[in-house]
Amino acid sequence: MRGYHVSKDGKVRKCTATKQECPLQHYPTREQANNALEKLNRDEHGLLSQMKIKTNLDSVESVVKDEKKEIVENLLNNAESRLSEIEKHRKKKEAQDRKLQAQQLKELATMSNILKKEQKDKEKLIKQQKKSQIQELDNIEQLMKIASQQEQQVAYA
């Protein structure tokens, strides 16, 4: 059975024996092996063993505390980095939106200018047509006067 055992140097280790049977007593979990080691030490050394265990626990707690602090710092750094990326993306998107709006405004101005020019051209054409029609009416009126004068001359002759 593989698992954990208390090695000859008095430390709990994971059993790695593969070629031959391990002669040490095995435990399914590290916790059970630690409990067995604690009992063995208590039986052999009493209070001194408990002090070592307390010192080891304090050391482990300190390491865990440091690791927690490091994890929190890493999470904060990652969050800040992600926020920075999001802010960069937002600014880039805003710049693209402003550029698109400016382009659309330019196109609208161009279209407006084209429509104004077309309107002026239509007004100019209408004026020319009116002027031409007035000229034609004047010509017709002249012709009618001439025709009337010729009728009068023919009537007197």
pLDDT in tens, 40-94: 877 766 655 556 666 777 777 878 888 899 999 999 999 999 999 999 999 999 9
Instruction: Please name which of 12, 2, 15, 9 lies closest in space to residue 36, comparing C-alpha atoms.
Output: 12
Contact 15, 5 (CB under 8 A): yes
| Mean local confidence (pLDDT), 3-11 | 87
pLDDT in tens, 19-34: 888 888 899 998 998 9
Question: Tell me, what's the pLDDT at 17?
Answer: 84
State the residue for tokens 């090695």. Answer: 7
pTM confidence score? 0.40
State the residue for tokens 């482990």. Answer: 60
Contact 27, 5 (CB under 8 A): yes
CA neighbours closer than 13 Å in the CB half-sphere of residue 153: 6
- Taking the domains of the chain in order of start, what are their residue ranges? 1-45, 46-156
Contact 95, 103 (CB under 8 A): no
Mean pLDDT of the chain: 87
